[in-house]
Structure 1
Amino acid sequence: MAGLLAAGPAASQVAKPKQPNVLFILADNLGYGELGVYGGGALRGAPTPRIDKLASEGLRLTNMNMEPQCTPSRSAMLTGRHAIRSGTYAVPFGGVAEGLTQWEVTLAESLSEAGYATALYGKWHLGSHDGRLPNDQGFDEWYGIPRTTNEAMWHDTPGYSPEHMRPEYILEGRKGGKSREVKVYDMEQRRLLDAEVTRRSIDFMERQARAGKPFFAFASLTQPHLPTVPHPAFAGKTGNGDWADMLAEMDHNVGQMLDAVERLRIRDNTVVIFVSDNGAEFIKPWEGWAGPWRGAYFTAWEGGIRVPFMIRWPGRVPAARVSDEIVHGVDLFTTLAGFAHAKVPHDRPIDGVDQAGFFLGKTDKSAREGILIWVDNRLQAVKWRNYKVHFYQQDTMTSPAERLPIPHVFNLYENPREDEGKRAYTSWVLGPMLKMVNAFNASVKKYPLIPMGTPDPYQPPGLP
């Protein structure tokens, strides 16, 4: 970890404000339309009262944007940098050095340096070998899977043998040591993992509350990523199938963590965030629902990038507030570091902007007007205010991405489904959009992108 800039005056000059705890709950492939407060819930076979109540207790966003895949979105949230910069712009499929280089500074590293206890439980997907696991990237402890949930299905595939492809293991590790293999991640463990994530997250919060130490608890749930199956205790609970049972379980697990915050009497000094890593699941028969938006993950359609988001901080984030202002996942690093009086890197481009003023209700406006949208290593689209331009046509994750001879412009207020037959012929909006693109390209000339598969140790070109 290198290149950190102090967030404010030295401690000797001013009294340091109390640092809030952070409970960060991340769902995996939860579409915009799944939760009750976003138009789903009972319409999807299972009400979500606990998550809906959480949304009413703080700020709920209707224009929260993520990268369109699991690995890029996690990279962006934890580094404050678009994944294209870090060589993490696509889900890795082996054969290269996976995940974040150790040169990257994660939110966990920043908060740890600021005195936080840090833990991640659940899915990581930013490196699957020692040196690139959570306990190597700022987390004091972790338990979960290094890659992805669909690998649990390997064991039931005809002809599969560990001799041909080593299975994924649930791992456990602590900072300063190597991670150990706990058990094979199969379909039995797939059903059990989120309950264990919840249990361990609560235990971690209890330990830190007793110690009086601020904490960053990252509860990285594996649901509803395929295969979408519930815990045995929830199987058949709704009578509406596995998807609804899973949704009921997720709501229960979130409720358990919120109850722990209440029980520990740390509610007023705990920032709680609930968000999805990208848009809806696409693979049948587990496909999710993006609500009013077109598309699913792995695409630049709104259904691939627009996700549920809510943040609660009693007395600081005004309750019962809903906003359609544009926010991006990269902003969470910068904003949470500010809340924690932590440090952010100054020796590299940081794409996240500090949304504290907006989140805390000091302004009705987001600190950004637009976002750049990559799919793999292609700049596929740009959003600015209520307009969006696509440079490529790609309908689904299995469709080829075809460069458009003329960019397609949409007014998302008039055409939220991004219907090609209702394109907006207002080319003036390309001006501010291309200004954003040009600014990014200029930064790349000064700070080259890290190629995917770059091994450690990494140092940017031109630095000693």
Structure 2
Amino acid sequence: MNFQSKIRVRISSCGVLGLFTLFTFIIIGCKPKEKETEAVKTIPPNILFFILDDAGWNDVGYNGSEINTPNIDQLAKDGVILNRFYVAPTCSPTRAALLTGMPASRLGILAPISGKSEKTLPSDLITLPMALSKRGYETALFGKWHLGLKPENGPQTYGFDYSYGFLHGQIDQYSHEYKNGDASWHRNGQFINEEGHATDLIGTETIEWLRKQRDTNKPFFAQVAYSAPHFPLQEPVEWINQYSDIKNESRRKFAAAMGHVDDDIGKVMKFLKTSELLETTMILFMSDNGGMKSWYPNTQYNGKHGPNDVLGDNTPLRDYKASNYEGGIRVPAILYWKGKWQAKVSNDLISVTDVMPSILQLAKVEIPTSVEGQPVFDFIAKGKAFENEIYIRGHKQQSLIKGDWKLVHTPFGDQEGNYELYHIVKDPEEKQEVSSQNSEITREYIQILNQHILKDSNEP
């Protein structure tokens, strides 16, 4: 559904309280001090990320899904729909790119960090929360981390003042254990035991931190990273019953997980509104990768969960999570800032690596030299054109998106493998492979792709 024509944003330059204050200064013969006025002008916005886990292109209502997501849809109606927003094909690489502003392959992170892996973010990088802290931000992460599986490699090591949730990539929604039984649920790096569904706990902790624990004299950066709708699917019956019209049991439970997390997003949004924080908070909604097709576990959770023959829906995009075709890397995403950005659909080419420099530009923070993405939010808000080049390397494929074209490389072991070229603007479903008809473009894109690969870390 196209909401663009229905939106009208009112911008009020002066409220009643502001007029009263100005009148008072005139009456008593004073004026605000220049330093204080400048301080007010330069107060940076609060920033809040909503990140879903494995939500596909057609798993949100505003993209035509059978799943009811009214709160996400409201963000889409009132905000900027990022129609060409790209991430990595799996979760850990996307989260690494989000917090560093560079392709995760530069860090040697090509796939989910799992099992007993010692893989984590390098300790010498300036992350997004670290950079924001220099501007006086208070930073917090709620929910999924997945960039280090031990407390000493948790969120607080990389710039978050407060952290709560789980360290691993997937958890039992109620016991909060990893698939092999490892503890994962923590608060500030200390493992804890709590009762409740992960979706509810993450939202509740977010609101409590915003209400009681943060320093209200500082701007905040909060990353709210849900476990939903990632398996295992363990939704309360009241959510499952809302989708009795979906015949496939697995898809019905997946829809329940989406409905549940949408409801929780609505609770956080309601708190921001009632606490008069909405006008000063920039919000980004996104999924960490495309929807997953199915899940057939063997030994995970001692066989308590699954199998799931139908999970996410990326229709009409091609393929699923872990793939570099559109279904794996092009995800639902929305920008929202009440009273600042007019509602519209943006077809600009945007990467998850662009988020960090865009946020830092908004907050008037120097962008670290390690960042490869570019600040684009201001261009999008003002409707200005910009060029972008998106390189994505997963553990199965690599891709390059530039202008109207997309190159996909599928290696065959140690062999060169297969190169495919698509006119991604005319053919977003990637039905027509056109490398033979566009040999010069193909050669150019292969050269650029190989230059990127040479820059990547060779560490396992």
TM-score of the superposition, structure 2-length normalised?
0.80
Deviations 1:255-293 (A, max 9, x none): 111111101111111001110001111224242100210
- Bigger shift: residues 89-98 or 402-411: 402-411
Whichever of the two has the greater Rg, that structure is: 2
The match for 1:281 among 284, 287, 292 is: 292
In 2, distance between residues paired with 1:109 and 1:69?
Answer: 24
Deviations 1:183-216 (A, max 9, x none): 28xxx85xx0111111111122223677232111
CA gap 1:417/1:109 in 2 versus in 1, 3 angstroms = same
Aligned partner of 1:128 in structure 2 is 149
Aligned to 2:147, what secondary structure does the other structure show? coil
Assess if the C-alpha contact under 8 Å between 1:411 and 1:424 holds in 2.
Answer: no
Assess if the C-alpha contact under 8 Å between 2:57 and 2:327 holds in 1.
Answer: yes
Aligned counterparts, 1:23-422, within 5 A: 23-40=48-65, 43=66, 46-149=67-170, 166-173=181-188, 179-183=189-193, 192-207=197-212, 211-231=216-236, 234-239=239-244, 240=246, 241-284=252-295, 285=308, 286-319=310-343, 321-346=344-369, 348=370, 350-363=371-384, 365-368=385-388, 370-376=389-395, 380-392=398-410, 407-419=419-431
Aligned to 1:288, what secondary structure does the other structure show? coil
RMSD after superposition: 2.9
Compute the displacement of 1:47 (Å).
1.7
CA gap 1:224/1:424 in 2 versus in 1, 3 angstroms = farther
Assess if the C-alpha contact under 8 Å between 1:68 and 1:279 holds in 2.
Answer: yes
Compute the displacement of 1:403 (Å).
5.6
TM-score of the superposition, structure 1-length normalised?
0.80
Aligned counterparts, 1:403-442, within 5 A: 407-419=419-431, 425-430=437-442, 433-434=445-446, 436-437=448-449, 440=452
Compute the displacement of 1:104 (Å).
2.0
Of Structure 1 and Structure 2, the greater strand share is in: 1
The number of equivalent residue pairs is 405
Compute the displacement of 1:381 (Å).
1.9
Q: Does 1:451 align with 2:443?
A: no
Of Structure 1 and Structure 2, the greater helix share is in: 2
CA gap 1:168/1:268 in 2 versus in 1, 3 angstroms = same
In 2, distance between residues paired with 1:362 and 1:85?
Answer: 31
Assess if the C-alpha contact under 8 Å between 1:294 and 1:418 holds in 2.
Answer: yes
